[in-house]
């Protein structure tokens, strides 16, 4: 390919990918599969590697991140980033509207929009390209977080249609509920403290140094205002609509995220609608913003030092429940972290009955001065568990006593510790405290860790109760005779369990490492550590410096890893697991003429192929590390479909969202028959 051809090809692919991105993330109407999208992206990546002179800051390949910002540069805003004055009642809104009418000569029109609960962002575009993205900061100056913002899929890197040469667009970056839950699930797996709410997590994510981590977190952004000298229209509503045509995610009248009205009744109607409907949105909103639509009137009214006179926010009342706190109990997590939980008199809140609320830690209990027997106010925010926000002192009984935080573990009676700088109390009895022992075992056997078929949490409880397992390595010493004596354990289940345990010995080192439940070592960190150190002995020997030298491994993880491996009990446990035959080193199996490109993938082969017999294509799957399985299930990685594949199979694959690859796709994936494979991480 000549450089000129490469240049054209890069431009073409970039445009096509950005278009698909827009269809997927903004219109929610994708026209190609994720698989095909990844193929195009890999093609572009390869071309950019070959011809780096044509790579561009706003290439779709930048969506996956990579740039690391050590320190964010402070930037002065061209237009100050003001805030809004708040209102909480109908009366305040009526005052706002009456005041406006008195101050203006032309009749004002209003837009009503959602008030997204996230982080404000200003993005500058020049000649249709994103050039800079800055946080609000103190309103006068903020931080340049451009590299991180480029990874937010719903923010266009290049614009479509006809747009002004230069303008700034402002909006709110937020974490949809699903993305927030995923992050917390990962934190839970790594034994870390859960994130409190989507807004703080979005804010923290935007300030992360490694943009490739930001890229994976699923941030989203709604844009809500345009600033510049050459905007196409003289009303806010029309400009936002135009921004939608350029590729931005803006509210629209169809989904009712924005409306125009000339009356206070229209404003109140919009508020009433969303006050009820907001619980069904996939992200948090905390109110409605009312703005004067005409720029001419906006200019006439001007701003105060803090906020424009032509706009006001109406904040929704957060629904609170009022109920009695019956008792406080303390839960012990897998890592020994203690969580105080309030048992409440059941009460209805936003459609669900609330019986318990988290009290987080000792500091929060002290700050609230919450006591057993108190009447308390409970709220539900973006948090999964409702929280107590205050005490109704008017109903406190005279003999109530301040709550005394426990000193000993409620499960094993060991004295609790509190590490410097941490809010949480811990039970340090890692190897003798039942919920910690069992919690570690639940994690060990879980699907993403050792995935032991035939062994679930209930069986672990039973085995523990019957004194058959105390540590993880005991799982590998279980005998048929012991199992068959257990309650509700039939011969078949006992055999399944033992077969599952046996099969787990083939699980890769990175998953064994994840399964060991080292604090802060989640799936991704375990992968990085395994790939870098290759075997457990090298990892045990690694100093804090050697650990932090690994990509994405920071101080916190290094300390935790060092701590884990300096505990002689943990080392003894590793020796036992080694003796049992678990994988403690990276096995790089490359079969003759093959690769490990399909390592860990389950493939269903179906239909008739042009260049292979059924058996030979199955051999090809195995040669590249894949496993052939007979029928489609949720665990299938992909279906390899030839001609005449059964319609039932196809339907099932579609229903379960399993990718269906053609013979050509497959050959491309394994790098052609007998040639170099194409490195693709389609399934990660
Ligand atoms: S307009 C002059 N519209 O609320 C202020 N703000 O204090 C222009 N926000 O920090 C803001 N949704 O980040 C506007 N639809 C919306 C909004 C919105 C959320 C945030 C914004 C600002 C805060 C107001």
CATH number for position 665: 3.40.50.10190
Question: 301 and 390 share a domain?
Answer: no
User: Lowest-confidence range among 241-245, 571-575, 679-683?
Assistant: 679-683
Domain count, the chain: 6
Give the mutation target among 81, 224, 293, 311 for probing the ligand 1 site: most ligand atoms within 8 A of CB: 224
Q: Which domain CATH number covers 336? A: 2.40.50.140
CATH of the domain at 36: 1.10.287.610
Distance CA 74, CA 142 (A): 6
3-state secondary structure labels for all residues of 541-567: HCCHHHHHCCCCCCHHHHHHHHHHHCC
Mean pLDDT of 605-613: 87
Residues 350 and 469 in one domain: no
Same domain, 359 and 272: no
Question: Is 546 part of any domain?
Answer: yes
Question: Is residue 58 located within the same domain as residue 80?
Answer: no
Token readout for 227 is 């600033």
The CATH code of the domain that includes 550 is 1.10.150.20
Question: Please, are residues 135 and 173 in contact by the beta-carbon 8 Å criterion?
Answer: no
Beta carbons of 635 and 625 less than 8 angstroms apart: no
More confident residue, 499 or 67: 499
Q: Is residue 424 in some structural domain? A: no
Q: Is the CB of 127 under 6 A from ligand 1?
A: no
Nearest protein CA to atom 3 of ligand 1, as residue: 224
**CA-based nearest residue to 632, from 649, 612, 655:** 649
- Of the residues 15, 62, 115, 404, only one is catalytic, namely 115
Give the chain's end-to-end CA distance (angstroms, integer): 31
Angle CA(502)–CA(506)–CA(509) in degrees, nearest 5?
Answer: 130
Other beta carbons within 10 angstroms of residue 327's beta carbon come to 10
**3-class DSSP state of 252:** coil
382 pLDDT band (50/70/90 cuts)? low
Q: What is the pLDDT of residues 257-266, one digit of tens each?
A: 999 999 999 9
332-371 as b/e: b if 16+ CB within 10 A: bbbbbbbbbbbebeebebeeeebeebbbbbbeebeebebb
**Ligand 1 midpoint to CA 349 (Å):** 28
Question: Is 592 among the domain residues?
Answer: no
- Given this model, what pLDDT does residue 358 score? 85
**Where does the pLDDT of residue 384 fall: very low under 50, low under 70, confident under 90, or very high at 90 and above?**
low
In a domain, 408, yes or no: no
Shared domain check, 35 and 182:
no
The answer, yes or no, to whether any atom of ligand 1 lies below 6 A from the CB of 303, is no
310 Cα to the center of ligand 1, angstroms? 13
pLDDT, residue 442, reads: 95
Over residues 180-191, the mean pLDDT reads: 87
Single residue among 506, 538, 555 that ends a domain in this structure: 506
**In the prediction, which pLDDT does 591 show?**
65
Q: pLDDT, tens digit, for every residue of 319-331? A: 789 999 999 999 9
Q: Confirm or reject: Cβ of 331 under 6 Å from ligand 1.
A: no
Residue 77 pLDDT class (50, 70, 90 cuts): very high
39: its two tokens: 């193929």
Nearest to 113 by CA among 245, 270, 239: 270
Residue 632, pLDDT score: 87
The mean per-residue pLDDT over the stretch 423-435 comes to: 92
Please tell me whether residues 220 and 308 are part of one structural domain: yes
Give the burial string for 137-176 (b: 16+ CB within 10 Å, else e): beeeebbbbbbbbbbbbbbbbbbeeebbeebbbbbbbbbb
* 369 and 327 co-located in one domain: yes
- Pair (128, 83) in one structural domain: yes
Burial class (CB in 10 A: 0-12, 13-18, 19+), 103: middle
pLDDT at residue 671 tops 80: no
Is 420 within a domain?
no
Taking the C-alpha atoms of residue 222 and residue 284, their distance in angstroms, rounded to an integer, is 12
The proportion of the chain whose per-residue pLDDT surpasses 90, expressed as a percent, equals 71
Verify that 13 and 104 share a domain, yes or no: no
Shared domain for 324 and 451, answered yes or no, is no
pLDDT at 381: 63
558 Cβ inside 6 Å of ligand 1: no
Q: What is the pLDDT of residue 197?
A: 85
Q: Which range (42-56, 281-295, 467-481, 645-659) has the least confidence?
A: 645-659
CA 395 / ligand 1 centre spacing (Å): 38
The residue among 65 and 344 whose pLDDT is bigger is 344
pLDDT at 680 (0 to 100)? 40
Q: Are residues 171 and 302 in the same domain?
A: yes
Domain that holds residue 386: 320-395
Q: How far apart are CA 543 and CA 472, in angstroms?
A: 26
Q: Give the Å distance between the CA of 25 and the centre of ligand 1.
A: 22
Q: What is the dihedral of CA 189, 192, 196, 198, to 10 degrees?
A: -50
Collapse the DSSP code of 445 into the 3-class scheme (helix H, G, I; strand E, B; otherwise coil) and give the result.
Answer: helix
> Whose structure tokens read 């779709």?
60
| 122/170 Cα distance (integer angstroms) | 4
| Nearest-atom index, ligand 1, CA of 119 | 13
Note the helical H segments in 113-176: 146-149
CB proximity list for 651: less than 8 A, separation 6 or greater: none
* 632-643 mean pLDDT: 89
Q: Which atom of ligand 1 is least distant from the CA of 121? A: 13
Residue 254 lies inside a defined structural domain of this protein: yes
pLDDT of residue 678: 40
DSSP state of 63: G
Beta-strand relationship, 638-641 and 602-606 = parallel
Q: Is the CB of 298 under 6 A from ligand 1?
A: no
Cβ of residue 227 lying under 6 Å from some atom of ligand 1: no
Q: Is the pLDDT of residue 682 over 50?
A: no
Nearest to 211 by CA among 69, 358, 400, 356: 69
> In the annotation, is 115 catalytic?
yes
| Residue 429 placed within a domain | no
pTM for the whole structure: 0.70
pLDDT tens-digit map of 299-350 = 999 999 899 999 999 999 877 899 999 999 999 988 899 999 999 999 988 7
Residue 628's pLDDT band, with cuts at 50, 70 and 90, is: confident
Q: Give residue for tokens 């970039």.
A: 14
The reply to whether 19 and 58 lie within a common domain is yes
pLDDT at residue number 473: 96
Indicate if the pLDDT at residue 513 is higher than 90. yes
Burial class (CB in 10 A: 0-12, 13-18, 19+), 621: buried
**Worst-scoring range by mean pLDDT, 2-6, 28-32, 150-154, 155-159?**
28-32
Instruction: Give me the percent of the chain exceeding a pLDDT of 70.
Output: 97
Of 64, 96, 111, the last residue of a domain is 64
* Dist. CA 170 → ligand 1 center (Å): 9
Measured CA to CA in angstroms, residue 108 lies from 73, 264, 266, 296 at distances of: 40, 11, 13, 10
Task: Give the model's pLDDT for residue 681.
Answer: 36
- Say what the pLDDT of residue 676 is: 44
For 603, the 3-state DSSP assignment is strand
pLDDT band at 673 (very low <50, low <70, confident <90, very high): low
The domain boundary, picked from 395, 418, 447, lies at: 395
Q: Region 426-440: what's the mean pLDDT?
A: 93
pLDDT of residue 674: 54
Q: Residue 305 falls within a domain, yes or no?
A: yes
Mean pLDDT of 604-627: 87
């Amino acid at each position: 390919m000549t450089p000129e051809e490469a240049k054209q090809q890069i431009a073409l692919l970039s445009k096509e990918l950005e278009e698909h991105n827009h269809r997927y993330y903004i219109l929610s109407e994708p026209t190609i599969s994720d698989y095909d999208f990844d193929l195009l992206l890999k093609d572009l990546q390869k071309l950019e590697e070959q011809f780096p002179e044509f790579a561009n800051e706003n290439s779709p390949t930048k969506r996956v991140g990579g740039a690391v910002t050590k320190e964010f540069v402070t930037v002065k805003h061209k237009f100050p980033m003001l805030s809004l004055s708040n209102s909480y009642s109908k009366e305040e809104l009526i005052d706002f509207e009456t005041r406006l009418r008195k101050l203006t000569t032309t009749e004002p029109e209003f837009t009503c929009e959602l008030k997204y609960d996230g982080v404000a962002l200003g993005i500058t575009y020049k000649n249709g390209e994103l050039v800079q993205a800055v946080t609000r900061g103190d309103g006068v100056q903020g931080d340049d977080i451009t590299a991180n913002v480029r990874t937010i899929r719903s923010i266009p890197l290049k614009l479509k249609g006809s747009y002004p040469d230069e303008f700034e667009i402002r909006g709110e970056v937020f974490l949809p509920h699903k993305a927030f839950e995923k992050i917390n699930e990962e934190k839970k797996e790594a034994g870390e403290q859960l994130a409190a709410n989507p807004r703080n997590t979005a804010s923290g994510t935007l300030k992360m140094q490694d943009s490739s981590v930001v890229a994976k977190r699923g941030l989203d952004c709604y844009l809500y205002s345009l600033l510049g000298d050459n905007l196409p229209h003289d009303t806010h509503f029309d400009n936002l609509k135009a921004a939608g045509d350029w590729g931005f995610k803006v509210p629209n009248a169809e989904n009712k995220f924005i409306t125009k009205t000339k009356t206070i009744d229209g404003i109140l109607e919009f508020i009433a609608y969303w006050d009820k409907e907001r619980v069904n949105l996939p992200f948090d909103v905390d109110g409605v913003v009312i703005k004067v639509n005409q720029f001419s009137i906006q200019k006439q009214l001007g701003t105060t030092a803090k906020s424009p006179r032509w706009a006001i926010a109406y904040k929704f009342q957060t629904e609170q429940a009022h109920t009695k706190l019956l008792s406080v109990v303390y839960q012990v997590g897998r890592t020994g972290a203690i969580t105080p939980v309030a048992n409440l008199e059941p009460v209805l809140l936003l459609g669900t009955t609330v019986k318990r609320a988290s009290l987080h830690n000792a500091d929060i209990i002290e700050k609230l001065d919450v006591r057993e027997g108190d009447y308390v106010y409970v709220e539900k925010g973006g948090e999964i568990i409702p929280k107590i926000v205050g005490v109704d002192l008017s109903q406190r009984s005279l003999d109530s006593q301040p709550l005394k935080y426990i000193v000993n573990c409620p499960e094993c009676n060991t004295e609790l510790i509190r590490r410097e700088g941490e809010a949480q109390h811990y039970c340090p009895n890692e190897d003798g405290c039942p919920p910690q022992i069992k919690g570690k075992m639940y994690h060990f056997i879980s699907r993403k860790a050792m995935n032991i078929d035939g062994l679930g949490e209930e069986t672990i409880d039973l085995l523990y109760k019957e004194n058959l397992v105390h540590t993880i390595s005991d799982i590998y010493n279980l005998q048929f005779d012991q199992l068959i004596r257990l309650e509700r354990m039939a011969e078949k289940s006992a055999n399944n369990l033992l077969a599952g345990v046996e099969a787990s010995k083939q699980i890769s080192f990175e998953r064994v490492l994840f399964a060991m439940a080292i604090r802060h070592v989640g799936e991704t960190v375990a992968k990085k550590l395994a790939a870098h150190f290759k075997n457990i002995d090298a990892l045990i020997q690694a100093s804090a410096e050697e650990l932090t030298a690994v990509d994405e491994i920071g101080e916190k993880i290094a300390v935790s890893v060092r701590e884990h491996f300096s505990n002689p009990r943990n080392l003894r446990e590793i020796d036992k697991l080694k003796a049992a035959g678990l994988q403690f080193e990276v096995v790089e199996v490359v079969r003759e003429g093959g690769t490990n490109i399909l390592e860990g993938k389950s493939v269903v082969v179906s239909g008739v192929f042009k260049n292979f017999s059924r058996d030979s294509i199955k051999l090809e799957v195995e040669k590249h590390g894949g496993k052939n399985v007979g029928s489609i299930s949720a665990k299938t990685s992909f279906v390899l479909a030839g001609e005449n594949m059964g319609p039932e199979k196809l339907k099932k694959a579609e229903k379960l969202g399993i990718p269906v690859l053609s013979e050509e796709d497959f050959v491309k994936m394994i790098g052609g028959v007998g040639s170099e494979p194409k490195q693709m991480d389609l399934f990660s």
